[in-house]
Amino acid sequence: MAATAQSPTMPVRRRSRFRIRPGRILIYTVLTLFCLSTVLAFLWVFMISLKSTPEFLSTSPWALPQQARFSNYALAWRKAKIGTYFLNSLIAAVTGAGGSVLLSALAAYVIARIKFKFNELLGNYFIVGYMIPLMLTVIPMYFFLSQIKVNIGGNVISALQLGGGMVPLILLYIASGVPFNTFVLRGFFESLPAEMEEAAAVDGASPFRAFWQIMLPLSWAGLVSTFLINFMSLWNEFFFALIFLSNENATMPLGLFYMAQRAEYTAQWTDLFAGILITIVPALVVFALLQNQITRGLTTGALKG
Spell out, as residue ranges, where the chain has pLDDT lower than 70: 1-20, 293-305
Q: What pTM was computed for the model?
A: 0.80
pLDDT digits (tens, 9 = 90+) for 40-66: 888 888 888 888 888 888 887 788 888
What integer pLDDT is reported at residue 305 of this predicted model? 45
Fold of 73-304: MetI-like fold (1.10.3720)
Pairing of strands 155-158, 149-152: antiparallel
pLDDT digits (tens, 9 = 90+) for 202-233: 877 777 888 888 888 888 888 888 898 899 88
What integer pLDDT is reported at residue 174 of this predicted model? 93
Helix and strand numbers (H, E) in the chain are 14, 2
What integer pLDDT is reported at residue 1 of this predicted model? 45
**HEC letters along 146-215:** HHCEEEECCEEEEHHHHHHHHHHHHHHHHHHHHHHHHHHHHHHHHHCCHHHHHHHHHCCCCHHHHHHHHH
What integer pLDDT is reported at residue 138 of this predicted model? 84
SS3 call for 49: helix
What integer pLDDT is reported at residue 94 of this predicted model? 93
